[in-house]
Amino acid sequence: MKTILYYFTGTGNSLAVARAIADRLPETELVPIPMLLLDGEKIRAETDANIGIISPLYAMGLPGIVVRFFDILDLSDAGYVFSVVTEGGTYGSPTGQISALTKQSGHDLNAAWWIRMPDNYIPLSAPPAKPEQKTIREDALRKVAVLTEAVRERRPRHIDLTPTGKLLRLVMYKPFMKKIPAFGKKFVVSSNCNGCMLCVDICPVNNIRILPKGKKEWLDHCEGCLACLQYCPVEAISCGGKTDERPRYHHPNVTAADMRAQKGASGSKHQE
């Protein structure tokens, strides 16, 4: 039975989880959401396939890029639809939001899970220390092993946000998402920049433009994923003064090349 995992990742956590699921399920294909949105073509789920949506949690909801993906996704022919949300806390999954989106796309949400991964939103707080990161990732793999058995057997399971998570979503999500497109204006590039252009290449929505003399400008359609900041090899990008002092984080098994590949061939060009 074929499984297709559509994923979005900013620091590699969600891709690492998607890979772990794919390793345990036969006939599984990983497909990056940014590539499909950049292509702009409608996507129709294969008949009777398992369809998984793998994404991080943003302010107790889905990233804007994932919400927009459902506009081009037709799930009418899918056999089993499930979601896995990665997050840095213990708030659960925005199952109600995901369920509404899958229904809009033609299929009920059959199952939903959340998996804790190392917190990576460094404008708010530093990531866990590396020993704790390792423990969190090991726990995540154990949870993946359990959920893949449920997917294999197509068992229903719905894990929603906790009461606290639901309350925070009511307060946080809409204001946070409204500000996200202009989030890039907060980024500052220091004199440490070596001109490698990695930030430009890995931005999932091509939101960074190269100016004369190699300077960069963030445009007005940022996703707030922090990939540019977290993957900068010389830590030249900051977002607010506190991030200067905080360690960067990305999943150790997800490379810059993996982040570039998230955009596919259609997203590989610099904006100049």
Model confidence band, residue 265 (pLDDT cutoffs 50, 70, 90): low
Q: 140-147, long-range: CB within 8 Å, 24+ apart, which pairs?
A: 140/16, 140/17, 140/20, 140/86, 140/115, 140/116, 141/20, 143/113, 143/115, 144/17, 144/20, 144/21, 144/24, 144/115, 145/24, 147/21, 147/84, 147/111, 147/113
The pLDDT tens digits for 102-133 are: 999 999 999 999 999 999 999 999 999 999 99
Model confidence band, residue 190 (pLDDT cutoffs 50, 70, 90): very high
Concatenate the DSSP letters of all residues of 188-216 into one string: EE-TT-----HHHHH-TT--EEEPGGG-E
Q: Which residue has the tokens 């796309």?
A: 105
What is the residue-averaged pLDDT of the chain? 94
CB environment 209-247: b (16+ within 10 A), e (fewer): eeeeeeebebbebbbbbbbbbbbbeebbbbbeeebeebe
- In this model, does residue 136 exceed pLDDT 70? yes
pLDDT of residue 269: 42
| pTM of structure | 0.95
Q: What is the mean pLDDT of residues 195-214?
A: 92
Residue 259 neighbours by CB distance under 10 Å = 27
The pLDDT tens digits for 26-76 are: 999 999 999 999 998 999 999 999 999 999 999 999 999 999 999 999 999
Ordered by start, the domain boundaries in the chain are 3-167, 179-267
Query: Cα(57)–Cα(94) distance, rounded to whole angstroms?
Result: 8
Architecture per CATH, domain 3-167, reads as: 3-Layer(aba) Sandwich (3.40)
Lowest mean pLDDT among 128-137, 188-197, 240-249, 262-271: 262-271
Query: Cα(132)–Cα(238) distance, rounded to whole angstroms?
Result: 24
The pLDDT tens digits for 207-218 are: 999 888 778 999
Q: What are phi and psi of 113, to 5 degrees?
A: -135, 165
- In this model, does residue 234 exceed pLDDT 60? yes
Give the domain 179-267 fold. Alpha-Beta Plaits (3.30.70)
Beta bridge partners of residue 52, listed in sequence order: 5, 82
Q: Given the DSSP bridges, would you call strands 216-218 and 208-210 parallel, antiparallel or unpaired?
A: antiparallel
Residue 192 neighbours by CB distance under 10 Å = 12
